[in-house]
Amino acid sequence: MNPPVAALSSPRQPEWPADGGFRLGSVDSLNAVPLTRGLEHRVLFTAPARLAEWLRAGRLDAALLSVTEWLSHPAYTALDGIAIASRGPVRSVLLAHRRPLEELRAVHCDPASLASVSLLRVLLAARGVRPAFTPLPDYAAAPACEAVLLIGDRALDFARAGHPHQLWDLGAAWQALTGLPFVYALWTLRPGADAAGLAALLRAARDRGLAELEAIIAARRDYPAEFCREYLTRHIRFDLGAEEKRGIEEFAARLRHLGIGPLYPPRYVPISPR
């Protein structure tokens, strides 16, 4: 489904409680900060591919996992109501390209990405384009690439820097194609994990993160405050509702049409009411 995954550097080991407290994993990017508010000391922050590996191995109880990895495992469940999603431009999932899209023959991509590569395959296939996908050895090489898929904070950084590329925002392209939001990641639970306990903990973290969004923005030193505010309030969505679920189902259907799979029906765990 995805290009080969290159070796990933060892992530920082979180302070997991010795009493059997929850072991959590998340992507280390700006768009995940509101979902891990107050839990930073007990979260493994690492790349999407590493999260997938650790959850499969049972080394995590829950991970903010890519939608494609979640759909690929029949035993996985995801917390209802919480996601990293977009309805239109997302700004942090971009194809930087020098040639017209219809002329693409190869795309370099972050080998740690999962959902974004699959989304790009779907969007290009809808235009009749099926390029080869090649791992990007280092983000420093991105400006020299004819076409490169960029995700997370690296995409934000690339877009703000000078470059000769055109930028194709995959969130905007998905909405233009389907009229639906796109879900990039969800809190996914290990089979047998304490679903009720995780739901309460992660819902509380999300609620706190949204309530303290201005404090999160003020604490960032890597981006201007107004940039962070616009990104986290206008481009990233943290809810998983009926429209987002329709987007997931449409995405799965298009992946199956391309012969990508197996993919399994979504399974959700309800979060307790506020």
pLDDT digit of tens for each residue in the chain (274 aa)? 333 333 334 445 555 555 458 999 999 999 999 999 999 999 999 988 899 999 999 999 999 999 999 999 999 999 999 999 999 999 999 999 999 999 999 999 987 788 999 999 999 999 999 999 999 888 788 888 889 999 999 999 999 988 889 999 999 999 999 999 999 999 999 999 999 999 999 999 999 999 999 999 999 999 999 999 999 999 999 999 999 999 999 999 999 999 999 999 999 998 765 5
Determine how β-strand 268-269 pairs with β-strand 77-79.
Answer: parallel
Query: Which pLDDT score, from 0 to 100, does residue 84 have?
Result: 98
Would you put residue 38 in left (φ > 0), alpha (ψ -120 to 50) or beta? left
Confidence (pTM): 0.91
**CB-based contacts of 40, cutoff 8 Å, min separation 6:** none
Distance CA 47, CA 72 (A): 18
* The CA-based dihedral angle spanning residues 205, 192, 51, 155, taken in that order and rounded to the nearest 10 degrees: -50
| Closest C-alpha among 29, 64, 24, 101 to residue 183 | 64
| Closest C-alpha among 144, 93, 84 to residue 123 | 93
Distance CA 114, CA 185 (A): 10
Q: Where are the alpha helices (DSSP H) in 142-264?
A: 152-160, 170-178, 195-211, 213-219, 225-230, 242-257
| Domains of the chain, start order | 24-86+182-269 (3.40.190.10), 93-178 (3.40.190.10)
Query: Which pLDDT score, from 0 to 100, does residue 272 have?
Result: 64
**CB-based contacts of 34, cutoff 8 Å, min separation 6:** 206, 209, 210, 213, 216, 232, 238
Token pair belonging to 44? 């493994």
Distance CA 80, CA 269 (A): 6
**CB-based contacts of 4, cutoff 8 Å, min separation 6:** 111, 135
Q: How far is CA 210 from CA 38, 115, 182, 230, 270, in A?
A: 12, 24, 20, 14, 19
Query: Which pLDDT score, from 0 to 100, does residue 140 have?
Result: 81
CB 235 within 8 A of CB 170: no
For every residue of 26-80, DSSP letters joined together read EE-SGGGGGGSTT-GGGEEEE-HHHHHHHHHTT--SEEEEEHHHHHT-TT-EEET
How distant is the alpha carbon of residue 189 from its chain centre?
16
| Closest C-alpha among 181, 165, 163, 152 to residue 91 | 152
| Closest C-alpha among 167, 147, 170 to residue 157 | 167
Token pair belonging to 193? 């994990």
